[in-house]
Amino acid sequence: MTSDTRTFRVGVLGHGTVGSAFASLLPVHADRIERMTGLRPELSGVMTRSRGSFDDILEGSDLIVELIGGIEPARNYLLRAMRAGRHVVTANKQLLSQHGEELWDAARDNNVQLRFEGAVAGVVPVIRVLQESLAGAIIDRVHGIVNGTTNYILTEMARTGMTFDQALAEAQRLGYAEADPSDDVNGRDAAAKMAIIARLAFDTPVHLDQVRYEGIEHVQPDDLEYARDLGLELKLIGTAERVGDGLSVRVHPIFLYPGHPLATVGGPFNAVTVESEAITEITMSGPGAGGPQTASAVLGDVISAMIPPASTPPTSSVLEIVQDVVSAFYLHLEVADEPGVLAQVAQVLALQGVSVKSVVQKGLGDQARLVMVVHPVLESRFAGAMGMIAGLDVMRTPPRAIRVLEEEFG
């Protein structure tokens, strides 16, 4: 360091998986960052539950990195830091998907930067691309595999025939799933990330509560086996798309045809596809989580904050959030192996306006399996058909359904 070098003091809240990786990474890159920015980054303090004082760290820092997670006290610390004129960086998707507007308002009101690349898809630069590179495109739709844990589980179930529980145990053994994986497997983690993506892509407020989500806990190995016969790949996909004058944001398992850019994204990887008339389609993919990977995204944000300016603009419109959308479905029925069953099922489907695209039928003693893919239909109509099918005497187990993305790419 030369005598006239100015320092840029970085205070870190949280010293867990990401916080400790970030604290180790910063000094390693200090020389390079100093050459890039003319400022030398320096760790000014670290806070956990048992060490450090927020007031002291705030006082001695130019920028605060929040890696505590959850809503409070993270929200309070970020607001206080911005009101005190500090730039802030966070990887906290729970907080941004529920209190984003309050935080972005605070950043604008106090003329500071709030950066959060690590909150969505780990090191894949989705936020920056949406906020900066694609600022000139009108986005029609975003699809994302934004949860690495569930993508790993589905990949392993399809590859090995394991059950959901076995694949989850394997993910935990390899460190891809936390001890409590509930928010990953039930889709809530992906829903939080899609709320943030939708907010940026469509420039409208989106709260986590407005995102419909389903998880992968109920996926059976034989769903994946049949899917293979039909040439389909199962993924937990988040979707944010314009529907009429509104916006639909949702997360659920869905079958993809092999040409779709997300169909080949396997293991714990994340990927996001952005569709717009101006750019056709762009897909970004890479490691979705992990301490060092997320810390690298956080460090990128710190460096960006050292080279001003960039901020999240205020929303320019409020779009209606649409709940009922059109989707194709895979339908799995365990039925009595007797004449006329297919006709009964077909009649119910026809009554609800559901038309069948392809059917696989297999006999199993006095029972048979009817596996079919139906053409796109309004989800409420399909749900009506499912309710009626469940009530048929010939059904041996409750019907199972998974969405199918009908489009073929490339």
Ligand X SMILES: NC(=O)c1ccc[n+]([C@@H]2O[C@H](COP(=O)([O-])OP(=O)(O)OC[C@H]3O[C@@H](n4cnc5c(N)ncnc54)[C@H](OP(=O)(O)O)[C@@H]3O)[C@@H](O)[C@H]2O)c1
Please, is 295 exposed, middle or buried when counting C-beta atoms within 10 Å of its C-beta (0-12, 13-18, 19+)? buried
At position 316, the amino acid (one-letter code) is: S
Nearest to 237, CA basis, from 118, 152, 151: 151
- What is the x/- site pattern for ligand X, positions 263-302, by CB under 6 A? --------------------------xxx--x--------
- What is the x/- site pattern for ligand X, positions 110-129, by CB under 6 A? --------x---x-------
11 scored as a contact of ligand X (CB under 6 A):
no
Give the start-end residues of each E strand in 69-216. Answer: 87-90, 114-115, 139-145, 212-213
Stretch that binds ligand X, among 42-50, 129-137, 274-282, 393-401 (CB under 6 A): 42-50
CB of 8 to ligand X, least distance (A): 22
Tell me if residue 193 is catalytic: yes
Which residue, 92 or 110, has its beta carbon nearer to ligand X? 92
Stretch that binds ligand X, among 11-19, 255-263, 373-381, 400-408 (CB under 6 A): 11-19
CB of 90 to ligand X, least distance (A): 7
For the chain, give the longest Cα–Cα distance: 90
Q: How far is CA 344 from the centre of its chain?
A: 39
175 scored as a contact of ligand X (CB under 6 A):
no
93 scored as a contact of ligand X (CB under 6 A):
yes
CB 96 within 8 A of CB 104: no
CB 113 within 8 A of CB 305: yes
17 scored as a contact of ligand X (CB under 6 A):
yes
Q: Concatenate the DSSP letters of all residues of 202-255 into one string.
A: HTS---GGG-EE--STT--HHHHHHHHHTT-EEEEEEEEEEETTEEEEEEEEEE
Which residues inside 51-80 make contact with ligand X, applying CB under 6 A? 67-69, 73
* Options 8, 9, 15, 124; binder of ligand X; rule CB under 6 A: 15
CB of 218 to ligand X, least distance (A): 25
Total binding residues toward ligand X, as defined by CB under 6 A: 23
User: How far lies 57's CA from each of 46, 71, 278, 344, 392, in Å?
Assistant: 7, 20, 45, 69, 65
Which residue, 238 or 399, has its beta carbon nearer to ligand X? 238
92 scored as a contact of ligand X (CB under 6 A):
yes
Q: Which residues contact 225 (CB under 8 A, 6 or more apart)?
A: 161
309 token code pair: 């300016």
CB of 68 to ligand X, least distance (A): 4
Residues that bind ligand X (CB under 6 A): 14-19, 47-50, 67-69, 73, 91-93, 118, 122, 289-291, 294
Residues belonging to the active site: 193
